Amino acid sequence: MRKIVSLFSVLMLFCALAYGQARTVTGVVRDEKGNPIPLATIREAGRSTTTVADGNGMFSIKINSSKLIISSSGFTEREVEVSDGFQTIILTANQNLQEVVVTALGIRRKSESIGYSTTRVSPEQITAGRSANLAQSLSGKVSGLTISNTSAAVNATPRIVLRGLRSLTGDNTALIVLDGVPVPANTINYLNPNDVDRIDVLKGGQAATLFGPEGVNGALVITTKKGSQKPQITITHSSNYEQLAYLPKTQHSFGSGSAYGSSIDEDFHPAENQQYGPRYDGSIRPLGRQLQDGSVQLVPYSDIENVRRKYWATGYTGQSDVSYRAGDATGNFYVSFQNLSSKGIVEGDRFNRNSFRINSNKMYGKFNLSFDANYTWDHANRTATDFYFWSLNSASWAPIDQYRDWRNNKFGDLSGYFNDYVDNPWWLLDNSRNDTRNNYFNGNVKLSYKPIKSLEFTLRAALANTNTYVTSYANNYRYTGYTRSSAFVNYFNNNYDRVLTGTGRSSVARNDRT
């Protein structure tokens, strides 16, 4: 009996020693979508033993008990029972907690520890309107951020200004930072919005302390998507239609004329660019001068409702996307492709863009190797003229839609166009164009070494390259001899009484273009 008691005491002692012996637990902390949670805090339950996960959510801790408490800013704290083998711990997002902010070089800090204003834009906000341009997708989502379109072209470059203008003559645009690396401002034009995981907007000149003088106007820190623990394939397509919103307000009561005459009828001139002529009365009047074959364009002298809107087409943009993401405890992988095809509100303008992205990350012991790259190629064909300006320089009683077929309509041909001072905008649209092809590459490689949990060495190399090929052409045109002759110029003076039956006129000197 005494031997049995002694044996039992020895066994109990061994069990106590085994229980009190420290063991190493390794694992990764992820969110509900499978994305790693960097800088999560791992603490042994009931003890002060604590460690912090690295940038990929990986951790290693020596504990004596069997329970861990995991916490991170923006997530609900969780207590877990650890078992043998590699641990994968999932935390649930908590919207009531403050989130971390991505700053310079991809460093994440709690928002309350930063001494300047920041705003985070989520991927759901970025893709809500299915905008083809990443900058335009930020419009109206960040206070103090102004997104301005520079033109009505199919591939116009938006202008990005944070908290107003800081210089009257210098550059006021915000700095663009992609995956921790400052990049050229045009990078935001060719990035696929569906590849973006988050955008942290660093407002004010305090960003200059992080990025140098280039950050004095603030910075947009863009983080692209990475792989996930669960393999995911995503296929999407969206179609957007756009129309002209508004035009400058103009009067619709008076027609062509310069107000040079001594009476209201003498103010009328059928080839005049200005609209200071007589009030519209619905009568049949000549529009333009007599052509060489003797023909005259006669139309009702009355306002055509919304006539200038006929210059503008309905725009269309179609986006097709496919992406794949996967990963495990030691690395992750993300790849995507997008095709964008756009037709502008300026008739004949076309834009096509293809974008390919690959992001990869791999752990090798205490080394972490990551690679992010984007290659985009696009093709734009658009008018080289200020079509908006030319479209406004026509009288509201002119049937401008009839001049679209300038090849077959003699009144649409430049020699027969009614306006003495402005060429047919449709002719300019077809005969003066820019054809642009771009190839963009943007990538960076990062190697990190973490000998101890409180020290990390990072080596980073980045490249941004743009190749642009532009072909511009403007077809020449030779006016007919008759158009340049005095017979063409004097038509109105010699035929005013015949055209305007029942009205008289005196000789009026006019400054006509020959």
Residue 504 has pLDDT above 80, yes or no: no
For the stretch 397-439, pLDDT in tens is: 999 999 999 999 999 999 999 988 888 999 999 999 999 999 9
Residue keyed to tokens 């009144």: 411
CA–CA dist 64, 236 (Å, integer)? 49
Residue type at position 297? Q
Give the residue among 285, 262, 263, 259 at the shortest CA–CA distance from 273. Answer: 259
For the stretch 53-100, pLDDT in tens is: 887 888 888 888 888 999 887 788 888 888 878 888 899 887 554 555
Residue 514 has pLDDT above 70, yes or no: no
Helices (H) and strands (E) in the chain, counts: 9, 25
The rounded mean pLDDT for the chain is 80
For the stretch 220-244, pLDDT in tens is: 888 899 887 778 899 999 998 988 8
For the stretch 352-364, pLDDT in tens is: 999 999 999 998 8
Triad 370, 372, 373: Cα angle to 5°: 150
C-beta of residue 396 within 8 angstroms of C-beta of residue 440: no
Please tell me the predicted confidence (pLDDT) of residue 324: 95
Cα distances (Å, whole numbers) of residue 220 to 114, 162, 229, 354: 16, 9, 28, 23
CA–CA dist 237, 248 (Å, integer)? 35
Please tell me the predicted confidence (pLDDT) of residue 434: 92
- What are the strands of the beta sheet with 58-63, ordered from one edge? 58-63, 23-30, 87-90
Cα distances (Å, whole numbers) of residue 22 to 11, 49, 60, 66: 19, 11, 13, 10
Residue 383: both structure tokens together: 């008018």
Give the global pTM: 0.69
Residue 337 has pLDDT above 50, yes or no: yes
Please tell me the predicted confidence (pLDDT) of residue 100: 57
Cα distances (Å, whole numbers) of residue 363 to 84, 105, 330, 450: 21, 19, 5, 11
Instruction: Name the 3-class secondary structure at 155.
Output: coil
C-beta of residue 203 within 8 angstroms of C-beta of residue 163: yes
